[in-house]
Amino acid sequence: MNILIKNVAAFLPTGEVATKNIFIERNKIAGIYDALPVDFKVDTIIDGTGKFAVPGLINAHTHASMTLLRSYADDMALMPWLTEKIWPVEDKMTADDLYWGAMLAAIEMIKSGTTAFADMYGPFVDSIAKAVIDSGLRASLARGIVAVAPGAYEKLEDSVRLYNTYNNAENGRLTVMLSPHSLYTCPPEFLKKMADTASKIGAEIHTHMSETEVEVSDCLKNYGKRPFAHVESTGIFDNGTLAAHGVHLNDEDIEIIKKHNIRIVHNPGSNLKLASGIAPVTRLLNEGVTVALGTDGASSNNNLDMLEEMRLAALLGKVESKNPEAVPALTAIKMATENGAVAAGLKDVGKLEAGYKADITLYDMRGANWRPRFNPLSLLVYSANAGDTDTVIVDGKILMDNKNLMTIDEERVYFEVEKAVERLIG
Amino acid sequence: MNILIKNVAAFLPTGEVATKNIFIERNKIAGIYDALPVDFKVDTIIDGTGKFAVPGLINAHTHASMTLLRSYADDMALMPWLTEKIWPVEDKMTADDLYWGAMLAAIEMIKSGTTAFADMYGPFVDSIAKAVIDSGLRASLARGIVAVAPGAYEKLEDSVRLYNTYNNAENGRLTVMLSPHSLYTCPPEFLKKMADTASKIGAEIHTHMSETEVEVSDCLKNYGKRPFAHVESTGIFDNGTLAAHGVHLNDEDIEIIKKHNIRIVHNPGSNLKLASGIAPVTRLLNEGVTVALGTDGASSNNNLDMLEEMRLAALLGKVESKNPEAVPALTAIKMATENGAVAAGLKDVGKLEAGYKADITLYDMRGANWRPRFNPLSLLVYSANAGDTDTVIVDGKILMDNKNLMTIDEERVYFEVEKAVERLIG
């Protein structure tokens, strides 16, 4: 199917915003033009007047199915939150639960303009893959392995199966990484084994790194090294790594990040909510590190709204570096698009450019919060809310048209989620 | 007119949420009941099923008409932002401009669930009063005076005229305070004169305090005292004070705040965007200080969305105090409602309770971001967005019904704002 988005304010890779016509041929952007070429065969025309087209937002670190635990346990210290609330319920989750949780996440992501996500969850990753297939979103999936729990090596084998089954499936909409949950839940010998496996099959790694001060001090105590140096010694960073959080970093950590081209995913909402700290994003960006954005799971955020993460990244970047010019709107948008694609290992994604995949979100600029319109980039980052999301296209397919979901039966999802939650928690 | 809101999840003053029927008689809440009394004469019934009723949010520090400058100048250092961008345009603003700017603000406030605001702006406060009267919102108005500019004492006289004209006008929907912009724009002799005037007419004060480190160090240099001690010596705090910001505070400052029952309005979005710092909100709350929330002007935020300020207050409170239990959702909501009413000096406002004024917002809980619904308070603070705002009632009058504005012709406002901005900036 070919789509023409007519007369739309488009965010171009140069950072400029200009009124353009965007042509989509099958799953790719065919061209972005001032005029309407006469020879382009169009199946669907979308009127872009009063709308702002950006590359679909990329949620580069989340646990989608954790939407099932949204608002179940908040304003708590990390360990009682995990041990008394989150983990006991997660233990009871079935394959179906993970599917409906991921579908609930898909609704929320689409409705706020997210087109792709990098997920870390389990054990039933096939369910999450099915939700990605059904919803039409793009995703990098990973079975997060807590290797101190029983069956770690079987889980690693299952991860290889997932890789062989889903990596580059659905015309490339699905990709797969290997995922050690963290250095404090995975002993070094397991990390070494996973690094070997990743190298053998050519998979990249998705993991948590340096989220809390305790993680750093415990790592020093247990291994005599800071987290990045310790994990580096296992070989985990040798095949390409998406590292979520990166809150507590020093010079040595940043050298290792740069040496291995580790992509850091900043999760400002979650880092604040769990009182983990504020990541040194300005410094990382200045040092040329790829910094992307993620929401983390809905139970520590509590939403999957990337507009909020962009705003938080721009706002926190300023206060953290005591510089109101830090992390300007343009940078925040690039973190949520271009950098997100790099972090999640998605090829030809994250820019409105001919040849790139047609993952595009249109925001409605007609509301009061979008007026006056001196600078659409500022408006998107500092003023917009999820309710402004108008149209979402992934891989050339329209997932939301004029605020209407096209691929998901919302009421069915809500019904199934309620049923699941009733059973899990009551 | 009598209104019945039927079968609604209501946030009660106890902090609980329960399904209730809310009866509104003229401009007040007549009662909140489990059953439907048969003898209550109802003109309008609102079906509250699937909706969450909270006291209308109170934006306790803003400059409403600055919406005209939204997205005009962002990601800049404070002084070039003010001197090169904001002030030159403000100098050109007419009485009409301030009216349309305030009307644009009114649309945005209503659409995100704000029912009252404490404003500081000028010179044409009559225009802002007219926008409050026309929109149906509740407001505490104040002409902010920069006394280092010419005509300060005439402006103070005009503030007295505004007080005599509008304080308690429109059935109490309008109130008026006196407003020295700040200690760094008002010499001590002017502050003394304003304090005398306030005492004479019985007006309270709305001012900026301790927003930046530079304000504190300059005050020490110029007056040999920190901001609160310096301003205290002028008598400004003797008649009741709303102090916006309060970012840089020490023990001595907090003693003065407590001694005079100064209400601090925390503006987290603006404090981050201008890199001013993070206010010690947890400590202030622990010491029993009334802390409310504000957006500040749309040019340093860039929206007037109090849902965002609640979320930021809850999130920053945790990271600032390194305690994930700090500023829980309930506290954030109280800051935006009860405390906002106290800060802005609004009587019988800020709670869903019989005898209180009928300022009520209903949020639609049907979206994916509101599921599952373990805790509506967490959902409102951490998951909701402005697009979820459904119905807004102020002083017993419906300003928004099922997402439709009832008092404002949106298209007219957008047309006039565009015309004004074209003339002001081009």
**CA atoms lying within 13 Å on the CB side of residue B224:** 1
Tell me the residue type at A296. Answer: D
- Cβ distance A125 to A141 under 8 Å? yes
B385 to A382: CB separation less than 8 angstroms, yes or no: no
Q: Is B369 on the interface with A (CB under 8 A)?
A: yes
B273 to A379: CB separation less than 8 angstroms, yes or no: no
Contacts of A418 in chain B (CB under 8 A): 371-372
The nearest alpha carbon in chain B to A366 belongs to B414
Do you find a cis peptide bond into B302, omega within 30 degrees of 0? yes
**In B12-94, alpha helices (H):** 78-80, 87-92
Neighbours of A217 (CB within 10 A): 12
The nearest alpha carbon in chain B to A308 belongs to B308
| Nearest to A118, CA basis, from A132, A136, A97 | A132
Supply the DSSP string of A22-67, one letter for each residue: EEEETTEEEEEESS--TT---SEEEE-TTEEEEEPEEEEEE-GGGG
Contacts of B308 in chain A (CB under 8 A): 308, 311
Q: Are residues A328 and A185 in the same domain?
A: yes
> Is pLDDT above 90 for B79?
no
B 229-268 → A contacts, CB under 8 A: none
Instruction: Answer whether residue A126 is part of any domain.
Output: yes
Tell me the residue type at B373. Answer: R
Instruction: Answer whether residue A369 is part of any domain.
Output: yes
Q: Is A369 on the interface with B (CB under 8 A)?
A: yes
User: What average pLDDT does this structure show over B151-180?
Assistant: 98
Q: Is B228 on the interface with A (CB under 8 A)?
A: no
Element counts in chain B: helices (H) and strands (E): 17, 17
Q: What are phi and psi of B70, to 5 degrees?
A: -60, 130
A372 to B71: CB separation less than 8 angstroms, yes or no: yes
B 303-332 → A contacts, CB under 8 A: 303-305, 308, 311-312, 314-316, 318-319, 321-326, 328-329
pTM as predicted: 0.98
- The CATH number of whichever domain residue A46 belongs to comes to 2.30.40.10
Report the residue from B277, B316, B414 with minimal CB separation from A272.
B316
Burial readout B6-30 (b: 16 or more C-beta within 10 A, e: otherwise): bbbbbbeeeeebeebbbbbbebbbb
Instruction: Answer whether residue B143 is part of any domain.
Output: yes
Final residue of a domain: which of A322, A343, A364? A343
Instruction: Answer whether residue B87 is part of any domain.
Output: yes
**Nearest-neighbour CA in chain B from A149: distance (Å):** 26
pLDDT tens-place string over residues B214-256 = 999 999 999 999 999 999 999 999 999 999 999 999 999 999 9
Q: Is B189 exposed, middle or buried (0-12, 13-18, 19+ CB in 10 A)?
A: exposed
Contacts of A318 in chain B (CB under 8 A): 272-275
| Nearest to B173, CA basis, from B396, B395, B417, B405 | B395
The nearest alpha carbon in chain B to A418 belongs to B372
**In B224-305, alpha helices (H):** 227-232, 251-259, 268-273, 281-286
A326 to B275: CB separation less than 8 angstroms, yes or no: yes
- Cβ distance A239 to A202 under 8 Å? yes
d(CA B271, CA B265): 11
B325 to A77: CB separation less than 8 angstroms, yes or no: yes
The CA-atom distances, in angstroms, between A388 and each of A58, A403, B155, B272, B414 are: 17, 9, 41, 24, 17
Q: Is B371 on the interface with A (CB under 8 A)?
A: yes
Contacts of B410 in chain A (CB under 8 A): 368
pLDDT band (50, 70, 90) for residue B180 = very high
DSSP conformation class of A121: B
Q: Are residues B340 and B373 in the same domain?
A: no
Q: Are residues A149 and A272 in the same domain?
A: yes
- In this predicted complex, what is the ipTM? 0.97
> Which residue of A52, A319, A334, A414 to mutate against B (max B Cβ within 10 Å)?
A319
- Cβ distance A293 to A336 under 8 Å? yes
Instruction: Answer whether residue A423 is part of any domain.
Output: no
Report the residue from B75, B111, B324 with minimal CB separation from A329.
B75
d(CA B117, CA A176): 50
Instruction: Answer whether residue B426 is part of any domain.
Output: no
The token pair at A209 is 């790194």
d(CA B67, CA A422): 45
A386 to B369: CB separation less than 8 angstroms, yes or no: yes
Final residue of a domain: which of A324, A343, A362? A343
Q: Is A150 on the interface with B (CB under 8 A)?
A: no
Q: Are strands A360-364 and A389-394 parallel, antiparallel or unpaired?
A: antiparallel
pLDDT tens-place string over residues A255-288 = 999 999 999 999 999 999 999 999 999 999 999 9
- Cβ distance B235 to B266 under 8 Å? no
Contacts of A386 in chain B (CB under 8 A): 369, 385, 387
Neighbours of A50 (CB within 10 A): 16
**Nearest-neighbour CA in chain A from B355: distance (Å):** 32
Q: Are residues B46 and B61 in the same domain?
A: no
d(CA A178, CA A237): 12
> Is pLDDT above 80 for B37?
no
DSSP conformation class of A337: T
Q: Is A379 on the interface with B (CB under 8 A)?
A: yes
User: What average pLDDT does this structure show over B411-423?
Assistant: 97
B71 to A410: CB separation less than 8 angstroms, yes or no: no
Total domain count, chain A = 2
By three-state DSSP, how is residue B308 classified? helix
Distance of CA A265 to the CA centre of its chain: 8
The token pair at A364 is 């409605």
The nearest alpha carbon in chain B to A270 belongs to B315
B372 to A68: CB separation less than 8 angstroms, yes or no: yes
A76 to B324: CB separation less than 8 angstroms, yes or no: yes
B374 to A70: CB separation less than 8 angstroms, yes or no: yes
* 3-class DSSP string for B83-146: HHHHHHHHHHCCHHHHHHHHHHHHHHHHHHCEEEEEECECCCHHHHHHHHHHHCCEEEEEEEEC
Neighbours of A181 (CB within 10 A): 20
> Which residue of A68, A383, A405, A425 to mutate against B (max B Cβ within 10 Å)?
A383
Contacts of A315 in chain B (CB under 8 A): 269, 272-273, 312
Report the residue from B72, B318, B322 with minimal CB separation from A374.
B72
Q: Is A229 exposed, middle or buried (0-12, 13-18, 19+ CB in 10 A)?
A: middle
B368 to A328: CB separation less than 8 angstroms, yes or no: no
pLDDT of residue B260: 98
B35 contact partners, CB below 8 Å, separation of at least 6:
B21
Report the residue from B76, B107, B385 with minimal CB separation from A305.
B385
CA angle, A57 then A366 then A37, to 5°:
70
pLDDT of residue A426: 78
- The overall longest dimension of chain A from CA atoms, in Å, is 68
Q: Are residues B28 and B113 in the same domain?
A: no
Q: Is A50 on the interface with B (CB under 8 A)?
A: no
Q: Are residues A287 and A392 in the same domain?
A: no
Contacts of B112 in chain A (CB under 8 A): 385
A328 to B75: CB separation less than 8 angstroms, yes or no: yes
pLDDT of residue A39: 79
A72 to B375: CB separation less than 8 angstroms, yes or no: yes
Q: Are residues A361 and A215 in the same domain?
A: no
Burial readout A255-271 (b: 16 or more C-beta within 10 A, e: otherwise): ebbeebebbbbbbbbbb
Q: Are residues A236 and A120 in the same domain?
A: yes
pLDDT of residue A331: 98
d(CA A386, CA A107): 12
Measure the N-to-C terminal CA separation of chain B; round to a whole number of Å. Answer: 45
d(CA B296, CA B269): 8
Report the residue from B78, B304, B329 with minimal CB separation from A74.
B329
Tell me the residue type at B120. Answer: M
Q: Are residues B29 and B66 in the same domain?
A: no
- The CATH number of whichever domain residue A311 belongs to comes to 3.20.20.140
The CA-based dihedral angle spanning residues B86, B92, B98, B101, taken in that order and rounded to the nearest 10 degrees = -50
| Nearest to A270, CA basis, from A89, A423, A66 | A66
Instruction: Answer whether residue B416 is part of any domain.
Output: no
Q: Are residues B123 and B141 in the same domain?
A: yes
> Which residue of B310, B382, B399, B405 to mutate against A (max A Cβ within 10 Å)?
B382
pLDDT tens-place string over residues B288-330 = 999 999 999 999 999 999 999 999 999 999 999 999 999 999 9
Under-50 pLDDT residues of chain A: none
Instruction: Answer whether residue A318 is part of any domain.
Output: yes
Q: Are residues A110 and A160 in the same domain?
A: yes
Contacts of A135 in chain B (CB under 8 A): none
Final residue of a domain: which of B325, B344, B363? B344
Q: Are residues B306 and B389 in the same domain?
A: no
Q: Is B372 on the interface with A (CB under 8 A)?
A: yes
In which residue are the tokens 């139970």 written? A299
- The overall longest dimension of chain B from CA atoms, in Å, is 68
Inter-chain Cβ pairs, chain A and chain B, closer than 8 A = 207
**Nearest-neighbour CA in chain B from A400: distance (Å):** 14
Q: What domain range includes position B149?
A: 57-344
A369 to B305: CB separation less than 8 angstroms, yes or no: yes
Tell me the Cα Rg of chain A.
21
Contacts of B388 in chain A (CB under 8 A): 387
